[in-house]
Amino acid sequence: MQEVTQATMEFMKQYWAPLVCGLAIVAVLPLIVGYVVLVERKIMADMQARLGPMRVGPHGLLQPIADAVKLLIKEDIIPDDADKLVFWLAPVLSVGAALLAMAGLAIGPAFQIAQDINVGILFVVGVSAMGIFGIVLGGWASNSHYSLMGALRSSAQLVSYETAAGMALVCGLLFAGTLNVTSIVEAQRNQGIWFGLLAPVALFTYLVASIAETNRAPFDLPEAESELVAGYMTEFSGFRWSLYFLAEYTNMIVVASVATTLFLGGWLRPFSETRWLNFIDFFPPLLTAVIGVYCLMRTPKQPARVQQLFMLAVAGLCFAVAAVLASPVLVPIAKPSLAAAVRPFYAGIHGGFWFIFKVSAYIYFFMWLRFTLPRYRFDQLMRLGWHFLIPLSIINVLLIGIAMIVGVYYHLNGWRLLLATLPASIMALIIALFILALDQKGEAQKAPSRAPDSYA
């Protein structure tokens, strides 16, 4: 017995920090997801020239909490013919996989739960791919035709686009030469250029494939409400439904983080090694301060006293964050003797800011696409995946590999490596478009009027 307690103590002593961080992520993530949803609704409203949620809290700032309460007190319905065990398991599996994938991500040089995993980015990708079981099993367990169709569509879609996404990742990994998340970002710092610029086609492929993998519009066929009600989520209600919802948005954050780490320089500031551009360091505190000032300006316009106070509190929070972000930049200017002491804080705080900023930009792009493009048809989706993206990504890997050999041969590195990789990317794009054109020509020659096969 004593041995067991001793071992437990030793385990806790070694791993208490990751455990606490993991608990914090699991506890805070639903809130973050709620606010991502609020932001999405606000952006949607903005693009459609209306206001969006305005009632709960100033500018609808408390809407996510109201939504969460609504979802929690809704009736929990399990269909009679459902497979009870699987019905219970599926949403949990979905959200569990998404949350587990977060463990491998590095938000800053020091913020990583599972540190120094040898297989880093593969862990994130592999574990988040397991979420597909939540969707497929959920669709099967509800014993409804709409759900099953949605689940089948979803699994076909995920499997097809996983290939393209994997090949795009291979491109970035070729440049990095390692799977470890921290080392990948360090490699980009050493190169002085983000891998997304070196391999723009890979970034594009990953972008499209990641939209398809997270089942977002315009690829949200599994939950196309005009065809399938809500796809695999049709029979789920209340808390279970919100788990699926949480999983979807967590997956968005995960794919955005993977793209940020591999293609957009992770926690590095733009031009992080160029000294005369160091004034970019003032951007994060200025941005948050401007948001705070805007909140202050809006405060007198709020109708109720509570709302005014709440707005003030938000402004105060923004100023506090601005102060924290400004301190590592301003302290070395005011007191050069403290510069060395502040340096690690700079990496952590500003790294975290830039990482979250890039992830938000990526997610903003997702939302932008969602409100702009109409939904694809299923056979169009499959054709885009198999006839364009997969050939494109494979050819791209091949040509980027050749470009890297050329780069090694002529001792190109940093920005000069673009000389080799840019022609390769353009060539890959041309070849893939050529294949697509050939393919469409072949299609046109075949029987012209054929009903689209929804399982094609």
Partner 1 sequence: MLDQAIFYLFAGVAVVSAILTVTRRNAVHSAIFLITALLATAGIFLELRAEFLFIVQIILYVGGIMVLFVFVIMLVNLDVAVRQLQFARQKWVGLLISLALAAQVGLMLWSSRKIPGQGVPVLNAVPADKLPPNSEEVAKSLFSSYLLPFEIASVLLLVAMIGAVVMAKKRT
Question: Minimum distance from CB of 1 to partner 1 (Å)?
Answer: 13
Based on CB atoms, which residue is closest to partner 1, 127 or 318? Answer: 127
Based on CB atoms, which residue is closest to partner 1, 57 or 172? Answer: 172
Question: Minimum distance from CB of 10 to partner 1 (Å)?
Answer: 8
Question: Minimum distance from CB of 448 to partner 1 (Å)?
Answer: 17
Closest Cα to residue 171, out of 203, 126, 218, 133? Answer: 203
Question: Minimum distance from CB of 356 to partner 1 (Å)?
Answer: 26
Token pair recorded at residue 16: 């208490």
CB 308 within 8 A of CB 299: yes
Closest Cα to residue 261, out of 341, 330, 175, 346? Answer: 175
Based on CB atoms, which residue is closest to partner 1, 22 or 166? Answer: 166
Question: Minimum distance from CB of 214 to partner 1 (Å)?
Answer: 15
Name residues whose C-beta falls within 8 Å of residue 227's C-beta, 6 or more positions apart in sequence.
Answer: 221
Q: What distance in Å separates the CA atoms of residue 121 and residue 323, rounded to the nearest whole number?
A: 33
Based on CB atoms, which residue is closest to partner 1, 160 or 307? Answer: 160
Based on CB atoms, which residue is closest to partner 1, 84 or 343? Answer: 84
Q: What distance in Å separates the CA atoms of residue 151 and residue 135, rounded to the nearest whole number?
A: 6
Contacts with partner 1 by CB under 8 A lie at 3-4, 6-7, 10-11, 83, 85-86, 89, 117-119, 122-123, 125-127, 129-130, 132-133, 136-137, 140, 148, 151-152, 155-156, 158-159, 162, 179
Q: What distance in Å separates the CA atoms of residue 127 and residue 213, rounded to the nearest whole number?
A: 13
Based on CB atoms, which residue is closest to partner 1, 130 or 412? Answer: 130
Name residues whose C-beta falls within 8 Å of residue 447's C-beta, 6 or more positions apart in sequence.
Answer: none
C-alpha dist (Å) from residue 55 to 49, 64, 323, 448? 17, 12, 31, 53
Name residues whose C-beta falls within 8 Å of residue 371's C-beta, 6 or more positions apart in sequence.
Answer: 43, 44, 47, 48
CB 98 within 8 A of CB 131: yes
Based on CB atoms, which residue is closest to partner 1, 11 or 345? Answer: 11
Within 10 Å of residue 14's Cβ, how many Cβ atoms?
10
Within 10 Å of residue 46's Cβ, how many Cβ atoms?
12
Question: Minimum distance from CB of 349 to partner 1 (Å)?
Answer: 30
C-alpha R_g of the chain: 24
Question: Minimum distance from CB of 263 to partner 1 (Å)?
Answer: 20
Question: Minimum distance from CB of 137 to partner 1 (Å)?
Answer: 7
Strand-pairing partners, residue 112, are 106
Based on CB atoms, which residue is closest to partner 1, 151 or 326? Answer: 151
Q: Which residue has the tokens 């459902």?
A: 82
